[in-house]
Amino acid sequence: MKILIIEDEKPLSDSIVEYLKTEGHNCEAVYYYADAIEKIELYEYDCAIVDINLPDGSGLDIIKRIKIKLNSLGIVIISGRNSVENRIEGLEIGADHYLTKPFHLAELNAHLKSINRRINFSGQNEILVNEIKILPDEHRAFVKEQELKLTRKEYDLLLFFISNKNRVITKISLAEYLWGDFMDTADSFDFIYTHIKNLRKKLLKLGCEDYIQTVYGVGYKFDLTIG
Amino acid sequence: MKLLTKTTLNFLSVTLFIFLFGIVAFYFLLRIQVEKNVNFELDKRKSSIITELESANPQNRIPPNPNERIIIDVLSENDSLLQYSYSDTLMFDKISNRYVPFRKLGFVTDYQNQKIYVQIFKSLEGSDLLIVRIFLILTILVIVLIVSLLLMNRITLWQSWKIFYDTTKKIGSYDVNKHEQFTLNSSDITEFEDLNRVILSMTNRINSDYLNLKEYTENASHEIQNPLAIINSKLELLMQSGELKENLYKAVFEAYEASNRLSRLNKALILLAKIENRQFPESEEVDLSSLINKQLELLEDIIDAKKLVIRNSISPDFSITMNPYLAEILFINLIKNAIRHNFEHGEIIVEQSTSSISVSNTGPEIKSDTADVFKRFHKSSNSSESLGLGLSIVKKICEVYNFEIVYNHDKMHTFSLILNNNHQIK
């Protein structure tokens, strides 16, 4: 995907670019409102990552301009503001996702993947990863054409793993992606472990490779290089 | 006591005091004056009687006065004690058929070489009547004066103080959150005008301070989240790079964990500040039973992991009027607290009564002072994941809505939320 990153904090912008480049995206970064408007008028993008607070303007205005030009463009807001009103306002003017800073790059990546699916595969849409096939519109997953019977959480977990395949996924980002703000007091990550154990068991039962690797003390990795 | 009542009472007590003493003194002075007058008349009469007796001329006799009686006794030698004297007495009046007060003058004189004792009685009926009338008129006059003064005083004061009461009422209902123009009625009394001026400048200052603080809260949140986002993303990239040795890897992850905690802490503190600043003014009826069920569902994974038993007896029509977002935060924090400080295979009970709702859980005894549970950063467990802010947030929300939150421990740890009258459950 061609992605425009509008974020005034250069180090953060750099991190995003670096992470997304390894995913094969074509990224461009701008740091000012005026530059963002210029880029939007001149070039075509699939997706934009927009910070609300820019030194010379509001990211919300940029989103409004984008939506006038190309309504299908995917938009992820990244903002330091965590109030309900900000969130609602951002989503109302057409943003796909609203991430509060600080966010996990893995989470941003997962959201971009879902935008990518919406834009590029509208209609017949399936994700193929070795022997695993996922139909995101129907929330169904298959291993070697046999259907996997997954709970809602297990399905989300699998999708998150596949979105961030071959990467280290910290248990913190996993927990926040799956449980949102309610996880802020997690005393233990036992229940994440339970879900992952169940998912792995179901995958193995249908003859799938054991891709889910534990990274000791840190989290997990969906490692496709294993097979 | 109102100032108006106090001034009225003072005025009344002083005037009544003066009035009562004055009236008594006046009465006695009047009496003495009248007595003097009568005595003088009696003296005059005495001289005329003596003249009459000396001349012994019946023609010169003073015509009898209906108000007057004269008794003449011949004195024996023994009665030498009788002297010239005035005194008061009662005598029977045949015409009006009752006793009537008289003033008497008794004196001894010679008549045809005999000593005689003459008593002149003068009726006091007329002068008594006069005293009573003067007294009455004066009393009425004074009472009318006092009452009219009192009324005038009250009306003037009441009109002047009306502005004051209006001002206090407006200050009482002043809410910096409502963002409405704060105005006060002007008064023709300098002091009240001064008061209004001072209050207006104060509310203006409060307003601008409040706006500054709000701006500051927002900005602080934004400014702190930005560097945290940078730290997080860089650490994440480091972990992805695959070039780290195992011990470094662990160190990076721990730094990552700490920056995540810092960010949660920042969010929680901003939330607390926002609640304190009353930045959640909208309220609506919140269905507590569905709210709590939803939250138990969200926390299902943690509950299952700890194998807790939940007993929820909130009835479906249980609702409360408050900000829906705050209601969510209030109950999620209570429930999370009950989960965190619980045993494995423990129990959580959510109960209601007409004006309260309570969340109880099994769990280890709290070692520190139970009064400290609502304090910021108070942690009874040494779990590093706990921020120690959950219950302070609960307490803050309760303060906003005048709910009472009580903790007690008796077999189970119980947090009871006692609702006030304005928030009676429907």
Number of Cα atoms under 13 Å in the Cβ half of residue B351: 10
Q: Specify the pairing of strand A146-148 against strand A57-58.
A: unpaired
The reported pLDDT for the residue numbered B64 is 65
pLDDT at site A224 = 86
Of B225, B260, B340, the CB nearest to A80: B225
In angstroms, the CA A46 to CA A38 distance is 16
Closest CA to A133 of A148, A121, A123: A148
ipTM reported for the complex surpasses 0.95: no
Confidence category of residue A189, pLDDT binned at 50, 70, 90: low
Q: What is the CA radius of gyration of chain A?
A: 18
**Partner B contacted by A123 (CB < 8 A):** no
Contact A195 B301 (CB under 8 A): yes
Over residues A179-202, the mean pLDDT reads 74
Residue A31, pLDDT > 90, answer: yes
Instruction: Identify whether the C-beta of residue B137 lies closer than 8 Å to the C-beta of residue B78.
Output: no
Q: Which of the residues B232, B332, B336, B383 would you substitute to probe the A interface, choosing the one with the greatest number of A C-beta atoms within 10 Å? A: B232
The shortest C-alpha distance from A108 to chain B (Å) reads 11
pLDDT tens, residue by residue, A116-161: 888 776 655 788 888 899 888 888 899 988 998 998 889 999 999 9
pLDDT exceeds 80 at position A82? no
Dist CA A131 CA A124 (whole Å) = 19
**B310 Cα distance to chain centroid:** 47
Interface residue B294 vs chain A (CB under 8 A)? no
- The dihedral built from the CA positions of residue A98, A102, A108 and A111, taken in this order, carries a sign that is negative
Which residue among A101, A186, A194 sits closest to B385, beta carbon to beta carbon? A186
pLDDT band per the 50, 70, 90 thresholds, residue B81 = low
Predicted TM-score of the model (pTM): 0.62
Q: Is pLDDT above 70 for B58?
A: no
pLDDT band at B56 (very low <50, low <70, confident <90, very high): low
Beta-sheet strands, E only, within B145-240: none
Of B397, B399, B374, B392, nearest to B265 by C-alpha is B392
Question: Which amino acid, A161?
Answer: F
Residue numbers in A near B247 (CB within 8 A): none
The minimal CB distance from A170 to the residues B230, B234, B256 is found for B256
Distance CA B104, CA B116 (A): 16
Q: Pick from A15, A102, A190: which is nearest to B237 by CB? A: A15
% of chain A residues with pLDDT over 90: 36
Dist CA B205 CA A226 (whole Å): 67
Distance CA B160, CA B157 (A): 5
Alpha-carbon distance A77 to A97, whole Å?
Answer: 6
Question: Are A187 and B267 a contacting pair at CB < 8 A?
Answer: no
Angle of CA points A111, A113, A115, to nearest 5°:
70
The strand pairing partners of A167, in sequence order, are none
Lookup: tokens for B103 = 């003033």
Question: Who among B230, B270, B325 is closest to A9 (CB)?
Answer: B230
With a cut of 60, say whether residue B415 has pLDDT above it. Answer: yes
String of DSSP letters for B141-170: HHHHHHHHHHHHHHHHHHHHHHHHHHHHHH
Residue A103 in this model has a pLDDT that exceeds 50: yes
Q: How would residue B179 be classed by pLDDT, with cut points 50, 70 and 90?
A: low
B228 HSE (CA, 13 A, CB side) = 24
**From the candidates B215, B233, B248, which should be mutated to test the interface with A, based on the most A CB atoms within 10 A?**
B233
Judge whether residue B426 has pLDDT over 50.
Answer: no
- Between B53 and B250, name the one with better pLDDT: B250
pLDDT interval class at B424 (50, 70, 90): very low
The two structure tokens encoding residue A98: 């609203």
- Mean pLDDT over A68-79 rounds to 88
Residues A15 and A26: their CA atoms lie apart, in Å, by: 14
Burial of B227 (0-12, 13-18, 19+ CB in 10 A): middle
Question: Are the Cβ atoms of A9 and B301 closer than 8 angstroms?
Answer: no
Question: Amino acid identity of A126?
Answer: E
The pLDDT of residue B93 is above 90: no
Q: Which residues pair with B408 in a beta bridge?
A: B414
Neighbour-count burial of B282, counting CB atoms closer than 10 A to its CB (0-12 exposed, 13-18 middle, 19+ buried): exposed
Q: Is residue A187 scored above 60 in pLDDT?
A: no
pLDDT tens for each residue of B127-143: 888 888 888 898 899 88
Q: Does A172 touch chain B (CB under 8 A)?
A: yes
| B249: closest CA of chain A, how far (Å) | 9
> A178: nearest CA in chain B?
B298
What DSSP designation does B177 have? G
Measured in whole angstroms, how far is the alpha carbon of residue A93 from the centre of its chain? 20
Kindly state whether B117 is in contact with chain A, defined as any CB-CB distance less than 8 angstroms.
no
Q: Residue A195: its chain B contacts at CB < 8 A?
A: 301
Whether residue B299 and residue A182 make contact (CB cut-off 8 A), yes or no, is yes
| Token pair recorded at residue B140 | 């009425």
Distance CA B134, CA A140 (A): 112
pLDDT at B49 over 90: no
Of B267, B186, B177, B257, residue with least CA distance to B224: B267
Those residues whose C-beta lies under 8 Å from the C-beta of residue B100, and which sit 6 or more positions away, are B90, B91, B92, B93, B123, B124, B125
Q: Chain B contacts of A194, Cβ < 8 Å? A: 301, 304-305
Tell whether the model's pLDDT for residue B398 goes beyond 50. yes
Which CA distances in Å does A189 have to A12, A176, B302, B320? 28, 11, 9, 34
Higher pLDDT, A80 or B425: A80
**pLDDT, tens digit (0-9, with 9 covering 90-100), for B60-80:** 555 566 677 888 877 776 656
Q: Between A82, A195, A218, which is nearest B221 by CB?
A: A82
Report the residue of chain B nearest A166, measured CA to CA.
B240
CB B55 within 8 A of CB B66: no
Return the SS3 of A121.
Answer: coil
